[in-house]
Amino acid sequence: MPEDTTLRDAADAADFRLGAAVAADPLRTDAGYWTSLRRGFNTVTAENAMKMGPMRPEPGVYDFTDADAVANFAEAHDMALRGHTLVWHNQLPDWFQEWDYTDDQLAAFLRDHVHTVAGRYRGTVEAWDVVNEAVADDGTMRDSVWYDALGERYLDDAFRWANDVAPDADLFYNDYGADAVNEKSDAIYELLEGMLDRGVPVDGVGLQMHALDGVPDPESVAENVRRFSDLGLDVHVTEMDVAYPEADAPENHRERQAEDYRDVLDVCLAEGVDTLVVWGVRDSDSWIPEWFPHVTEDPLLFDASNDPKPAYHALKERLEDTD
């Protein structure tokens, strides 16, 4: 029996941005993918298409084909678009070798990239993950091409450059493993506090929420959200998936997964987080099985046959339950 209302309808009615990371290929070719995407979500993030490597096939050449496909889909279906990501240490172009550049040239290279990409999607991308994963797991600054060449100021610069060309977009710092209060989120808190003190135009923090052993303690996630909100920052959940170590996954883990998704949505609704993005549409699209083969393989809201899972229904019920 067809549903009367969808998860997307519930999100729209609650004025909540519920998103999915999407890939350009199935968007073009796979009707089932389309259908699930439209049924579940009112927001999209490009899973890979807006990263530097995929966008820059050769020196001096930008290829916006896939990124535009995602942006056009979002526009055609009245979905918000999150941009991901302008500055990262991963998925750099194959041809890019840092030793080909002086530090000044690297700064100019990065400025050109941020200006070009954020400028192209000005007015289209509502929120940008400007800098991704700049902090290491122990809370120190991560070694990266950008940090090596420019030091911590690369973050300030990146946000200022993005703000030059996309002043209306909300500019986010995004990271993983910092969803609850812990050593890493402490470090990110200090980093962002310092940037705000220096007048850097950072608007928000993205908590990725790749949950590989169920979600972290919701109380601690709520406390973490509150402290960033108290700094004046918006908080988004940007890349959620929920898995469990295969060796001791809960019995009936899809029910547990539904509770875990709902717990995080609860925190969002209680703490003024208006955006939650899931990192893929169907389990068969997820990056998790390839990257983390030791965990359960079904971290998302739809199964491989495009059927909605308990987590889909749990989020829908919770969104229908808002005033």
* Residues engaged in binding ligand XIL (CB under 6 A): 47-48, 132, 176, 208, 239, 287
- The minimum distance between CB 56 and ligand XIL, in angstroms, equals 16
Bridge partner residues of 46 (DSSP) = 22
- Residue 15, exposed/middle/buried by CB under 10 A (0-12, 13-18, 19+)? exposed
239 is catalytic: yes
Q: Hey, what are 227's tokens?
A: 């402290």
Of 30, 41, 47, 35, the closest CA to residue 83 belongs to: 47
Q: What is the DSSP letter of 256?
A: H
In whole angstroms, the minimum distance from the beta carbon of 96 to ligand XIL comes to 17
Nearer to ligand XIL, 6 or 182 (CB): 182
d(CA 193, CA 197): 6
For 173-220, the DSSP string reads EEESS-SSSSHHHHHHHHHHHHHHHTT----EEEE--EESSSPPPHHH
Task: Rank residues 280 and 310 by Cβ distance to ligand XIL and give the closer one.
Answer: 280
Kindly tell me the burial class for residue 125, based on how many C-beta atoms sit within 10 Å of its own C-beta (0-12, 13-18, 19 or more). buried
Catalytic residue among 152, 183, 193, 239: 239
Residue 322 has which token pair?
């808002």
Q: What residue is closest to ligand XIL based on CB? A: 287
The catalytically annotated residue of 98, 133, 219, 246 is 133
Using the minimum distance from each CB to ligand XIL, give the nearer residue, 276 or 319. Answer: 276
**Which CB atom, from 154 or from 173, has the smaller least distance to ligand XIL?**
173
- Contacts with 10 (C-beta within 8 Å, 6 or more apart), sequence order: 315, 316, 319, 320
What is the C-alpha to C-alpha distance for residues 68 and 22, in angstroms, rounded to an integer? 12
Query: Is residue 133 annotated as a catalytic residue, yes or no?
Result: yes
Q: Which CB sits closer to ligand XIL, 179 or 239?
A: 239
Which is closer to ligand XIL, CB of 47 or CB of 156? 47
> How big is the chain by its Cα radius of gyration, in Å?
19
Looking from the CA of 273 toward its CB, the CA atoms found within 13 Å total 28
* Residues known to be catalytic: 133, 239
